[in-house]
Structure 1
Amino acid sequence: MKYLFILLLAALGVAAPARAMPFVEVNLQVAPATHSFTCRYRFTLPASDTTSVVRLNLNSHFKLQPVQATQNAQSRITSVQYAGYPHQQIQVRFGPNPRRSRSIELVYTGSISENNYTDQAALFSAHSEWLPFRPYQEYEVLPYQLTVQVPPAYQVRSTPQPDKQKAGRWTFSGTTSAIEFTALVAQQFYQAVSVAGPPITLVKAGVPLTQTDSVTLRQAEVITAFYNRTIGRQDPITRFTILMPGNNSGAYGLLDNATVITYSDFDVARTNELLILAHEISHKWWGYGSFHDETDWLNEAFATYSSLLYLQASGDEAGYQKELDRLAQTTPGTPPLWGFDRYKYEYPMHRRVMYNKGTGILHALRTRIGTEQFLTLLAQSAAKKTSTTVEFLQLVEQIAGPETRGWLLAELKR
């Protein structure tokens, strides 16, 4: 009967109902003076999800209270090594599913590491390692609600605007990857909003905005407009947030239309930092591969080459060629991208293969099929949220033909 129902929907041109995603509710209480926090994390499976065992990994430095779960579920906690670091793994086994939603609630306390705070701000985000996640599913896309409680003198910013706020309590909601729920906490924020195109908000914690920040915001407008005409034309940016906490621990893009730029002296007048900004903005589209296998090239090579496309389009042909040459010099002697096992190598090799070699392959693909067809390929891949190399190869065959698919596969195996 279910099969007949789906056939009927197809015949009528109606899509079959999509499987509901888990929902996450987080209540974060922050004590900025001590950089400590208490988190209440609730993970709910919808009634349509028949999963009987759920595993969640949590930073081993945090103190976990007894696990709470619905429907008399059984839970146990073990210590595991994950991606080279110690974690506590919470396993919850549910009984037979009577078509009801099931929840797991974790309450834990801890402190964020020193590279995630300054005298002015505390950052809870993707690189803060403060959230649980299902093993090998850090980038599982989840709807969420995040409530942050802080002392009355403090404020909170996140990737979206708050749904609700009052003194000491801020609530945000959205959909993003499992580890990317973000809260930036400070006593004082300074911000500016773009004047052209989709609204881009630049938020700086604790320190007033400078002329350099204004240039960064204007450059973000131009980059976003370029991407919306090219790689993002089927799924354009409609809003974007740039968070600048000043803790000098790198830069990273977030799926929820945002990026975190932590450098206190960030200046897009320097080409390498302009490329960082363009790279991280493009992660709005390139973030569905896995960090743990070859599909990370769908995140990092695609973001790297997107930034180079922007650099070239801005008129800096010499800078484009110089950066391509620099990356190419790092790839001789590297293993094939296809089937790359990052855990057999030190991290620098991961970068040489996933970022640098992958970028060279994309450049060669563009040279082979032409810029117009290449941009069509990227736009469709971005809109489809391509997450595997096989999916990308299938798209290449649809757009550029089977010979190009075979050529690309050979390059990936080279």
Structure 2
Amino acid sequence: MKAIAQRANTDCSDLTGKRIKFVGLALAAFVALGNSANAQSDNANDYDLAAALDPASGALSVTGTIDIVADKRTEEIEMLLNGQLRIERISFSREAEMQTENGITCGTYPLPHTQRMRIALAQPMEPGDHLQIALAYSGNLTTESFEMGRGIVSPLWTELSADSLWYPVWYDEPDIRYTLSLDLPPQFDVVGPGTYDRVSDGKWRLSSPGIVNTRITFAASDSWTIAEREIGDGLTGAVYTARGTAKTDSILTGLEQVFEAYRGFLGAPSLSTGAIKIIYPGPEIEPTYPQQAYVAGNDFIVLDESHLQVQLDTLNHEVAHLWWSRGASGTPDEFLSESIAEYLAKRHGGDLWGAEWLERQRDRMRARSEKIDTSLLEIDGFTSDRQALLYNRGPTMLFALQDRIGRGAIDAILHELHSRQADTLDDFFGILSARHGDAMVDWAREHL
């Protein structure tokens, strides 16, 4: 993901605002689920929500359940929710007490329009234990209330994701599945990751494509324009815009080129559907943080607003995430996601736009990297240096490594990393050591 906004960690301190306390006792119907271990091979949290949204007014009402599955011993759960929304009722499958706090800071970022839901458990959860939360909440969302990242609510274009906090988000354990029943005015269409089906006029059903990282996301409009193109092997690229744009053909061409370039040495990615959907509302739409871009569900790319070449560079980065989305966020392992994606994007840009363009990008990344005193190996949470390290220090090291061992050798390392489904920086170092020796690993660590 490329973004201006920093995603906050869960180490949030109070800023201002009142506290509201909710006390919930275990519900008999949920006791068996609450005390059982996760029967599946993962501990993804499961959201089953029904939402009604009026894009004209921003009125939102939501009911549903959240099945929390602990990844580790857990005594307290902190979730964030948009401050415009009021919790009307909530209950828990385990004895628990919840306090809400309005006006908080996360890390160093003040979030006056965000509330924190702090759920204290009477008894700790062990890995694999469940906590089912049943809740209802409502309120009026505004574009100005989206403090964590990109989003917009308007009749022409509505775009909601985790960063708008339209549902409770637990950033500490981001892997989720979801089903969403969504009611909109009947003239609206919807697009999202994975499957999204119109059940009847104004009623939609969205399901996550397996496990996704945090985001329950969708875009909706009553008048958008869709441009589609076959990009090879039965795969379709589609660009969704508010009014249509002359950039559409260039974006689809860029998608076709970069997808083929990465597939050429990494093989086909595991896609959710047979279409890659690019969400680009256009310059007349003004979401919060319009320069933020991200990929969700391995088939849904939200593109930033910028000059065409900058957008294509961003597209090259986001398409790389179809292969590279491993490595825990806020840790050095995120190198396997963001640093590799940025390296590949700049490398592909050099193939398209020439050696001079690439050298300017390398010089810029090198200069930014030299201004940072900390090491990428020391990333611990969502600090102010995190993005600069991942987007500059990491790719700078990879290009310097390419200068030492060659582009083909880099491709071989990346191919092995991907085929192993590696998810730690130590995996990268292990492959580098096996192929080029421990001294090269020492060099790489020094340059991170």
> What TM-score does the superposition give when structure 1 sets the normalisation length?
0.81
| 1:107 alignment counterpart | 136
Please tell me whether residue 303 in structure 1 is matched to residue 303 in structure 2. no
| 1:82 alignment counterpart | 106
Render the CA deviation track for 1:358-401: whole Å, top value 9, x for unaligned: 11011112222321221122233344554432333233334443
CA contact (8 A) 2:239 2:248 kept: no
Where does 1:249-268 land on structure 2 (aligned, <5 Å)?
249-257=290-298, 258-263=300-305, 268=308
| Change beyond 3 A, Cα 1:42–1:191 | same
Q: Which amino acid aligns with 1:303?
A: A
- Aligned pair partner of 2:394 in 350, 358, 378: 358
CA contact (8 A) 2:175 2:214 kept: no
Q: 1: distance between equivalents of 2:434 and 2:50?
A: 45
Q: 2: distance between equivalents of 1:341 and 1:51?
A: 20
| Change beyond 3 A, Cα 1:60–1:121 | closer
Please tell me whether residue 148 in structure 1 is matched to residue 182 in structure 2. yes
Q: 1: distance between equivalents of 2:366 and 2:319?
A: 23
Q: 2: distance between equivalents of 1:291 and 1:96?
A: 25
Identity across the alignment (%): 18
Please tell me whether residue 284 in structure 1 is matched to residue 306 in structure 2. no
Where does 1:358-397 land on structure 2 (aligned, <5 Å)?
358-397=394-433
Q: Which amino acid aligns with 1:250?
A: Q
Q: 2: distance between equivalents of 1:358 and 1:97?
A: 37
Where does 1:140-219 land on structure 2 (aligned, <5 Å)?
140-173=174-207, 174-197=209-232, 198-207=234-243, 209-219=244-254
Once the two structures are TM-superposed, the CA of residue 298 in structure 1 deviates from its matched residue by 3.3
Once the two structures are TM-superposed, the CA of residue 92 in structure 1 deviates from its matched residue by 5.4
| Change beyond 3 A, Cα 1:78–1:388 | farther
Provide the aligned length of Structure 1 versus Structure 2. Answer: 384
Once the two structures are TM-superposed, the CA of residue 184 in structure 1 deviates from its matched residue by 0.8
Q: 1: distance between equivalents of 2:333 and 2:171?
A: 16
CA contact (8 A) 1:251 1:259 kept: no
Q: 2: distance between equivalents of 1:287 and 1:233?
A: 15
Once the two structures are TM-superposed, the CA of residue 30 in structure 1 deviates from its matched residue by 0.8
CA contact (8 A) 2:369 2:389 kept: yes
CA contact (8 A) 1:253 1:284 kept: no
| Change beyond 3 A, Cα 1:146–1:53 | farther
Please tell me whether residue 91 in structure 1 is matched to residue 119 in structure 2. yes
Query: Secondary structure of 2:132's match?
Result: strand
Structure 1 gap segments, 5+ residues each: 1-15
CA contact (8 A) 2:235 2:275 kept: yes
| 2:36 alignment counterpart | none
Q: 1: distance between equivalents of 2:355 and 2:268?
A: 27
> What TM-score does the superposition give when structure 2 sets the normalisation length?
0.75
Q: RCO (CA 8 Å, sep 6+): is it higher in 1 or 2?
A: 2
Query: Secondary structure of 1:143's match?
Result: strand
Q: 2: distance between equivalents of 1:318 and 1:357?
A: 20
| 1:58 alignment counterpart | 80
| 2:30 alignment counterpart | none
Q: 1: distance between equivalents of 2:87 and 2:166?
A: 12
CA contact (8 A) 2:176 2:211 kept: yes
Q: 2: distance between equivalents of 1:381 and 1:39?
A: 41
| 2:31 alignment counterpart | none
| Change beyond 3 A, Cα 1:404–1:26 | farther
Is 61-70 or 37-46 further displaced after alignment? 37-46
Structure 2 gap segments, 5+ residues each: 1-38, 145-150
| Change beyond 3 A, Cα 1:153–1:51 | farther
| 1:338 alignment counterpart | 377
Once the two structures are TM-superposed, the CA of residue 53 in structure 1 deviates from its matched residue by 4.5
